[in-house]
A and B are shown apart, each in its own frame.
Chain A
Amino acid sequence: MLPLILASIAALFLVAPILIVVPMSFSTAISFQFPPPAYWIGYYRKFFTSEEWLEPALNSVIIAGGAMAFTMLLVVPAAFGYVRYRFRGKALVNLLIMSPLIVPHVVSALAYYRFLGRAKLTGTYLGVIVAHGVLAVPVAFLVIAATLKGFDRNLERAAMSSGAGPFRTFWYVTLPVLRPGMLVGALFAFLSSFNEAVVALFIAGRGATTLPKKMYESIRLESDPVIAVVSTLLVGAVVLGVLVPVVMRRRPIDAA
Chain B
Amino acid sequence: MSVTRRNTAAWLLLGPSTAVLVLLFVVPIGYVLVLSVTDPRLALAHYQRIFTVPLYTRVLVNTFLTSLVVTALCLVLGYPVAYVMARRGGWVGTVLLTIVAMTFWTGFLVRTYAWLVILGSKGPVVSAYQALGLGPAPQLLFTTFSSTLGMTHILLPYMILALYAVMKKIDANHLKAAASLGARPAAAFREVFLPLSLPGVVNGSLLVFVSCLGFFVTPVLLGAPRDMMISQLINQQIEELLAWGFASAVAVVLLAATALVVGVYNRFAGLDRLWG
Contact = CB atoms under 8 A, between A and B. Distances in A.
8 smallest A-B Cβ distances: which pairs?
Answer: A104-B214, A81-B13, A85-B10, A6-B80, A115-B28, A111-B28, A256-B161, A81-B14
Interface string B27-63: 1110110010000000000000000000000000000
A235 interface: yes
B164 interface: yes
A242 interface: yes
A32 interface: yes
Interface in A197-256: 197-198, 201, 212, 215-216, 219-220, 227-228, 230-231, 234-235, 238-239, 241-243, 246, 252-256
Contacts of A191: 105
Contact of B102 (A78, A194, A242): A242
B130 interface: no
A11 B221 CA distance: 24
B168 to A, nearest CB: 9
A108 interface: yes
Contact of A255 (B32, B101, B106): B101
Nearest to B272: A94
Contacts of A103: 29, 255, 258
A38 interface: no
Given A10-B77, A14-B103, A234-B110, A111 B29 contact: yes
Interface residues of A, number: 89
Interface of A: 3-4, 6-7, 9-11, 13-15, 17-18, 20-21, 24, 29, 31-35, 73-75, 77-78, 80-82, 84-88, 93-100, 102-108, 110-115, 130, 134, 137-138, 142, 146, 191, 194-195, 197-198, 201, 212, 215-216, 219-220, 227-228, 230-231, 234-235, 238-239, 241-243, 246, 252-256
Dominant secondary structure of chain A at its interface with chain B:
helix
B205 interface: no
Contacts of B116: 32, 219
B96 A7 contact: yes
B254 A15 contact: no
Contacts of A21: 110, 113-114, 117
Contacts of B217: 197-198, 201, 216
Nearest to B126: A34
B98 interface: yes
A200 to B, nearest CB: 10
A234 B102 CA distance: 11
B22 A255 contact: no
Dominant secondary structure of chain B at its interface with chain A:
helix
Interface of B: 6-7, 9-14, 16-18, 20-22, 24-29, 31-32, 35, 77-78, 80-81, 83-85, 87-88, 92, 94-118, 120, 122-124, 127, 153, 156-157, 161-162, 164-165, 210, 213-214, 216-217, 220-221, 230-231, 234-235, 238, 244, 247-248, 251, 254-255, 258-259, 262, 271, 275-276
A49 to B, nearest CB: 21
A114 B35 contact: yes
A4 B91 CA distance: 13
A238 B105 contact: yes
Contacts of B258: 102-104
A34 B121 CA distance: 10
Contact of B118 (A34, A73, A220, A235): A34
A216 B109 contact: yes
A97 B77 contact: no
A235 B105 CA distance: 9
A100 B24 CA distance: 11
B75 to A, nearest CB: 11
A97 to B, nearest CB: 7
Given A14-B103, A255-B101, A4 B84 contact: yes
Given A97-B21, A256-B162, A235 B214 contact: no
A218 to B, nearest CB: 9
